[in-house]
Structures are given as structure tokens and as C-alpha cells.
A = this chain, B = another copy of it.
Amino acid sequence: MSATLSPWKKLSELCEKSDEAAIERFLEKMSSSETARVISRLSEEDRLRLFNLLAPEDAADVIEAIPESQAAEVLEEMTSEQAAAIFEELPSDYVADVLIELDDDVGAAILSKMDEDEAEEARMLMRYPTDSAGGLMAAEFLSFESDSTIQDVLEDLRDNADVYSEYNVQYVYIVDGKQRLMGVLRMHDLLFYPKDTRLSSIMFTHPLFVHDTASVNELRDFFEKHKLVGVPVINRIEHLVGVVTPAALEGEINKQKTRNFLKLSGIVGGEEFRTMPLSVRSFRRLSWLSMNIVLNMLAAGVIAFYQDTLASVIALAVFLPMVSDMSGCSGNQAIAVSMRELALGRVTPREIIWVLAREAHVGVLNGIVLGLLIGLVAYVWQGNIWVGIVVGGALAINTLVSVLLGGTLPLILKRLKLDPALVSSPLLTTITDMCGFFFVLGFASTILSKLTVS
């Protein structure tokens, strides 16, 4: 019978039976994305029951499989002792990322129950912006003082084999007594020398490094230039504080892309899962929609202004939403290309003239094609060539307006320190709607006599 049950119903049943062993086997078989899906579909009650049954290390595996915002929700349901025990099984950069999502007092309570060193590490990482080298680095790395020998490294590796199993240990960093970065060795360099060799005598001095404040773009440039599997991070007082890997960097770029994509589609805050509470989901979407309704009224005002013209040539009403939609589409294409080029650093916010020039070509060409198309449709449909000319001409000009505006808006907003992802599209739609309605109805009102003969 249970073969037809969904996996979360099955897990819920196992939780009710408190069958720990079966639960572990069940979770073991699942991929982490399946785990994430199943956990998110459990009721709050079942989820609490599940985490009460799981050992901290198994709970940590589950927590790591789900998105940070959801991990925070789950951890908020637990006691701080439980959460602390789970955190101690997780890498400190992940802990810091989740702590940022938690309420401050909940986070502080959990930290106070954690091992002091690990809590301090997490606190240190939390102080960095998530999109800086400090926020992206792992605080787990191999470092030794310069008078250590290869033998010391060996012993350390042997003693901490367990802890190190999940480290990136391609590099060994050499520091002075004050944790200042002095050199680097690749693990395989150690193979070439006798075991009593001092690290200082064989290390590469002047190692490459980045500052903890380095941005995502600086890190991307670094890894494009230097094909390394990790770069050491130093803080303001030149202490070695962590290591950033290319995978951590790419992961952050990924997160930013997702956030921007969701924002551009009107999800305020750049995050929504369907398992989030209704109030959060509805509010995030509504806050953006309400802004849109206000902006929409501006465009509607243009139609209202020309209401008499429209009443005389009611056929034009058919084409107003078409002009609005097509212009919006053309403009959004240009917005997308600009957002992408800005993110890649292929265009700077100052190069508005260059973007205008490059978009003008496309705008003129596409404007002519689309204008002819819709003009022909309008002519054939309404049997009046002047209707075709008004509608086609308006769309042609408005297409040019839209791509010029769409191309430059993200650059302008960026210079004004506004978020292009959240604002570009509604602003564009409003302006291109206003222009589009004005072109159609304004043209029409000047040649009204020609339009009313059919």
C-alpha cells in the first residue's frame, strides 16, 4: 500500500512510529534535492518530530540540503541547544550564512550554546557582507607556522584526518607568529623533500592573496587570471582569515542571478518558495504589484485625455493593448541585455551613449518591421489605410523609444544607486505605455476626419 504514498507522507509515517533506523535509511537513499523537497512538504509538527529523532550529524546533512532561508525557518522551530549541536557539524561559512537569516536574538542564543571557538569563527564570518571575499571564504584551511617541518604537517594531517576529510587541502599556507601570510605550498610540493625540511625553506614566498573586502567581480577577475583552486584571504591587519574557492564564488554568482531574476519578475526581496507562509508570499508579490498599479494609472491617464478621439474611432481601442504589450516586450529585451552586460562588467553605468548607439540600430530596424506588420494587420482588419498608418507609425516610433529606454534604464538606475532588477521593468512599462498611447491617440486626433471614414 505504502508504495503509492508520496515520500513526505512516508517520512511522516516513519516519524510517527519514531523509527529512527528506518528514517536514516530513508534519507540515506535520497539525493539532496529530493531531501529538500520532502522536508519542505512536511508539516511543521512532523518536521519538529523528525529533527528530534535525528542525530546532529544526520540533521546537519538535511539542513545543508535545503536552502538557507528554509534552514533558518527549521532551526527557529528547535531549541537553541538542538540548533547549536547541528551547527557544530556544519562548516562555519554555512553556519554564518544561516545565522544571517535568523532573528538576531535567536542567533545569539544558538551561538551561546556552541563551542566557543566555532561560535567565534561564525561571528567573525557574519560580520562580512555575503558578497565579499570575507563572506564567501571558508574558515577551514591548513596553516602552519614557518618553522614547522613537513613532519609537523604529516602529524597534523594524521591527527585531524576526520576533520580534514571535507577540507580543500590542495594548499598549505605558511604564517608567522601573528597569523600573517608568509608563503604557500602545494600539497604535492611536500613530496619532494625530506620530512625534516622546514616549510619556510621550500615555500613560495609572495603568495597571491585577496583582501576580505574583495567583491564578487574582483574575485571573478582573479580566478579568470589565475587558474587556482583556492585563494587565501587576509584581513585589514594582514592576518590570514580564510580561503575562497572558485566553486564558492560561482555559487554566490548563481545566488545573485536567481535573486535578480526573481526581482525582475516582481518578487520583492528576490526569494520565494511555495512552501513559505502565504502572508510572506502574498506580501512580497503585492508590494510590487501595488507600485505597478499606481504607475499604470499614469499611462491610463493618457487614454483618458484622448477619450473623445477614442470614442470617434473605437477601432483604435483594439490596438492600444497591442502597442502597449509589444513596446513592453521590446523594452524588456533591451533591459535583459543591459542587466547581463552590467553583471559581466561588459558595459559600465557611464556608457549610456554607447548603449544608445547600439540600441538605436536595433530599434529602427525592429520598429520598421513591427510597424509594417501591425500596420498591415490594422489596415486589413479595419479596412482603412489611415488606421494602419496611425497604429503602425506609432508602434514603429515607440519601439525605438522602448529599446533606447530599456537599454539605458538599468545603467541610469545603477548610477542612481537604485536596484535595476526591481525597478527597471515597471518604470519602462509605464513610460512606454504613456508614449505608445500618446503616439496612437495623438496621431489619430490630428487626422481624425480621415479615420472616421470607413
Report A's interface with B, CB cutoff 8 A: 31-34, 36-37, 40, 64-65, 67, 150, 153-154, 157-158, 166, 168-170, 186-188, 190-192, 217-218, 220-221, 224-225, 227, 229, 245-247, 249-251, 253-254, 257-258, 260-262, 264-267, 272-275, 278, 281-282, 285-286, 288-290, 292-293, 296-297, 299-300, 303-304, 307, 310-311, 314-315, 317-322, 324-326, 328-330, 332-333, 335-337, 339-341, 344-347, 354-355, 358-359, 361-362, 365-366, 369-370, 373-374, 377, 381, 429, 433, 437
Is B340 a contact partner of A262 (Cβ separation < 8 A)?
A: yes
Contacts of A381 in B (CB 8 A): 304
Identity of the chain B residue whose Cβ is nearest the Cβ of A150 in the assembled complex: B191
Q: 24 pairs across A/B with beta carbons < 8 Å?
A: A157-B191, A168-B170, A170-B170, A187-B188, A188-B190, A254-B257, A261-B336, A265-B333, A266-B332, A282-B362, A285-B330, A285-B366, A286-B370, A288-B333, A289-B326, A290-B373, A293-B374, A297-B377, A303-B318, A307-B314, A307-B315, A317-B317, A325-B328, A325-B433
Q: How far is the CA of A96 from the CA of B307 in the complex (A)?
A: 60
With A32-B224, A166-B227, A170-B187 given, can you name 17 additional A-B contacts, CB distance below 8 Å?
A: A31-B221, A33-B224, A36-B344, A36-B345, A37-B346, A254-B254, A258-B340, A262-B340, A266-B329, A266-B332, A266-B333, A272-B337, A274-B341, A274-B355, A282-B362, A289-B326, A321-B321
Whether B278 contacts A303 by the Cβ 8 Å rule is: no
- Chain B, Cβ-Cβ closest to A164: B188
Are A154 and B191 touching (Cβ within 8 A)? yes
Task: Please give, as numbers and ranges, the residues of chain B lying within 8 Å of A258 by CB-CB distance.
Answer: 257, 340
Q: Is the interface of A mostly helix, strand, loop or mixed?
A: helix
Given A262-B336, A370-B293, residue A300 in contact with residue B273 (CB < 8 A): no
Q: Would A300 and B286 be within 8 Å (CB), given that A191-B191, A265-B332 are in contact?
A: no
What residues of B have a CB within 8 angstroms of the CB of A282 in the complex?
A: 361-362, 365-366
Which residues of B have CB within 8 Å of A304?
A: 315, 318, 381
Interchain CA distance A337-B288 in the complex, whole Å = 15
Chain B residue at minimal CB-CB distance from A297: B377
Smallest beta-carbon distance A388→chain B, Å: 14
Residue of B nearest to A292 (CB): B329
Once the chains are docked, how many angstroms separate the CA of A110 from the CA of B31? 42
> Which residue in chain B gives the minimum CB-CB distance to A221?
B31
**Which of A153, A166, A170 has the most chain B CB atoms closer than 10 A to its own CB?**
A170
**Is B266 a contact partner of A261 (Cβ separation < 8 A)?**
no
A424 to chain B, nearest CB (A): 11
Q: CB within 8 A of A34: which of B157, B318, B333, B345?
A: B345
Known A266-B333, A318-B300, A321-B300; contact A154-B250, beta-carbon cutoff 8 A: no
Please measure, in the bound complex, the distance between the C-alpha atom of A333 and the C-alpha atom of B389, giving whole angstroms.
35
A31 to B262, CA, bound (A): 30
Are B341's CB and A266's CB within 8 A? no
Q: Complex Cα distance A293/B324, Å?
A: 11
CB contacts (< 8 Å) of A188 on chain B: these are 157, 169, 187, 190
Contact residue among B266, B340, B362 (Cβ-Cβ distance under 8 Å from A336): B266
Chain B residue at smallest Cβ distance from A330: B289
Contact in complex: A318, B307 (CB < 8 Å): yes
From B157, B192, B303, B345, contact of A37 by CB (8 A): B345
Contact partner, A325, options B153, B290, B319, B324, Cβ 8 Å? B324
Distance of A437 Cα from B320 Cα, bound (Å): 12
**How far is the CB of A237 from the nearest CB of chain B, in Å?**
26
Residues of chain B within 8 A of A33, CB atoms compared: 217, 220-221, 224, 344-346
CB neighbours of A192 from chain B (8 A): 154, 158
- Chain B residues with CB under 8 Å of A330's CB are 285, 289
Chain B residues in 8 Å Cβ range of A286: 366, 369-370
* A293–B322 touching, CB < 8 Å: yes
Bound complex: CA of A338 vs CA of B425, how far in Å? 20
User: Closest CB-CB distance, A43 to chain B, in whole Å?
Assistant: 14
Query: Nearest chain B CB to A27's CB is how many angstroms away?
Result: 11
Distance, CA A260 to CA B260, complexed state (A): 13
Tell which of A36, A229, A245, A288 has the most Cβ of chain B within 10 Å. A229
A293 to B359, CA, bound (A): 21
Least CB distance from A432 to B in Å reads 11
